[in-house]
Every structure is written in C-alpha cells, then in structure tokens.
Amino acid sequence: MRILITGGTGLIGRQLCKALLHEGHELTVLSRNPLSVPIKCGQAVKAMQSLSEWTPDQVFDAVINLAGEPIIDLPWTEARKKRLWDSRVSLTAELVNRIERADQKPKVLLSGSAIGYYGDCGSTLVDETAPPASDFGAALCAAWEKAGLKAAESNVRVCFLRTGLVLDAAGGLLGKMLLPFKLGLGASLGSGHQWMSWIHIDDYVAIVLRLLTEPGAIGIFNMTAPKPVTNKEFTDTLAKTLCRPAFLFAPSLALKLGLGERAYLLLGGQRVIPAKAQALGYEFIYPELDGALKSLLG
C-alpha cells in the first residue's frame, strides 16, 4: 500500500514506520523537517514538508494521522492551547480537505485521538460508547475526531485511535520516568488511586496494522491494554521492575501549583478497556503491566 503518515517522526510513528516498511508498504511522512525523515523513519521513506504538496493526481491507499504537539510539556497559555488545537484539529481538517480533492481517494483514514476524551472517570470502567467530558482536553479530542469524520463523506473508512499511555523505553512518559525511578526517587502522584490506561508500543503498532487492512473496522478504538492499573500500582510495578524503592509521593497541591490546568492530566484518570479491538479478535501481546515493563526494561 501507498501510505501517507502525519506525525511519523514521533515516538509511535517511528515504530509504526519500521513495521510498515517490514511489510513492504511505500511510505510518505509529513514533517516540517523533511531531512530528518529518512534518519528517524527509514531511508526508504519519502518526505513531504506541506500538505499542499499532495496534488489531486497523487495516490495514497491509506492515511495515518498521528500529528499533534505534546500536550503536557508546556504551560497551557492561550497561545499554547491554540498550537495544540491547530496541530490536531486544524491539521486534520486540512488533511481531510486534501482527501476530498484527491482524484483517487484513500480507502482508509486512521486518525489520532486520546482517552482524554472521557475526562476524569474515577473508577468507572469505560469503553468506546462512553460520552465525552467537558474539559479542555476532552473538547480538543472531540473536535479532533469531528474534523476527521468528515472524510467518511468521501466514502473513506475512518477509524479513530483513542490513545492511552503508550509505553516505550525510547521516550514518552515512561522514558521521562526512568531516571528518577532508577535513582530511587519514583513517586506516586496525589492519592495514587487514579487509573492509568496504558498500552505497550508493540500492541499499539499491531492494532494499527490490523485496522489498516480490516474492512469491517470503523469508528472509535480505545488504544489501551485490557488491564488498566492505578497510579500506585503503576509506580510499584515500575519500581519493582527496576529493583528500586518507590516510597515517595507527589502531593496534589504541589502538582496543581506547578502544572496549573495541566495537573488534571496526572491527577485524574480513565479506567479504559479496548472493547472494540477485542471484538475484532485482537489478542494482546502484553495484557498485563508487569510483562510489558519487563519486555521494555529487561
């Protein structure tokens, strides 16, 4: 297949490109830094610097939309919120516009989203049928999906990837946690009772590959493992995997003072299950956290 990928140089995108190249697909990655694409994604991967380069006569069989500025790294000023919105909602709308203009439309669009759509759900078990929350993160996800859904009007099969915490030792949240945990400074956040819905990078990539070629797959898919854990369980399991203590905790007040509005991303949680991926018959390689962490951290 000829596949266009946005966000292909990111943590998920790099692993996905590797798997797609191994299967023999022809890849083009949209990137503001096209010179980095062959280095990060593979020498055989083509680069596109702007969607304006996608002319109507250029054929892509599939589009995978993973673009989006990191959501927790910087304070949520109004300018920052606009960048988060533009990198997700506006880019997706432009991408769909290019799909609509194509002489030969792609068969499928796999478009990013996040389990932040559900907001803070407490201990309630959540599947793909749950309604959206009303906070900024949820509104961002809802608008992101709405922009992508318009591609269905062009008879394109659309799947949304509501992504949880993706575990990969090469980066992401786990990569940031490793140093303090290795130093014995690992800490639970707030009460530690909030739920964390995670997924091993290998399972994430495998589900994407399945959705790419499964004609009956359509709509929302929770990209999480079937066994979410609380923050305290995650902290204890990571510390045990690294053979380090983790007796500390970060008080909720300190996180709120330090992170402001972003603090709810760490202090709230979602207990999410991947009902639709399991309904497709997908069997997780790493259904439990201890096995996932051992595979990544040895």
pLDDT in tens, 217-237: 999 999 999 999 999 999 999
Quote the pLDDT of residue 93: 98
pLDDT band per the 50, 70, 90 thresholds, residue 264? confident
Q: CA-CA distance, 149 to 97, in Å (whole number)?
A: 12
pLDDT at 249 over 90: no
Query: Quick one: pLDDT at residue 87?
Result: 96
Mean pLDDT across 60-83: 94
CB-CB neighbours of 48 under 10 Å: 19
What are the residues facing 199 on neighbouring strands? 166
Note the pLDDT of residue 19: 98
Region 12-32: what's the mean pLDDT?
97
pLDDT surpasses 90 at 257: no
Amino acid, single-letter form, for residue 119: G
pLDDT of 83: 96
Tokens of 234: 């995650």
Amino acid 263: pLDDT = 87
Question: 55, exposed or middle or buried, with CB in 10 Å at 0-12, 13-18, 19+?
Answer: exposed
Polymer length of the chain? 298
Q: Each residue of 44-71: pLDDT tens digit?
A: 999 999 999 999 999 999 999 999 999 9
Strands 195-196 and 62-65, sheet pairing: unpaired
Cα separation values, 61 from 3, 161, 296, Å: 6, 19, 33
Q: Which domains does the chain have, with CATH numbers?
A: 2-168+197-226+273-284 (3.40.50.720)
**Vertex 208, ends 109 and 201: CA angle to 5°?**
135
Backbone angles phi, psi at 224, to 5 degrees: -145, 160
Average pLDDT over residues 110-136: 96
Q: Which pTM does this prediction carry?
A: 0.96
pLDDT at 13: 97
Gyration radius (Cα) of the chain, Å? 19
Model pLDDT, residue 59: 97
Q: What is the pLDDT of residue 279?
A: 97
Token pair for residue 227? Answer: 């066994």
pLDDT computed for residue 202 by the predictor: 98
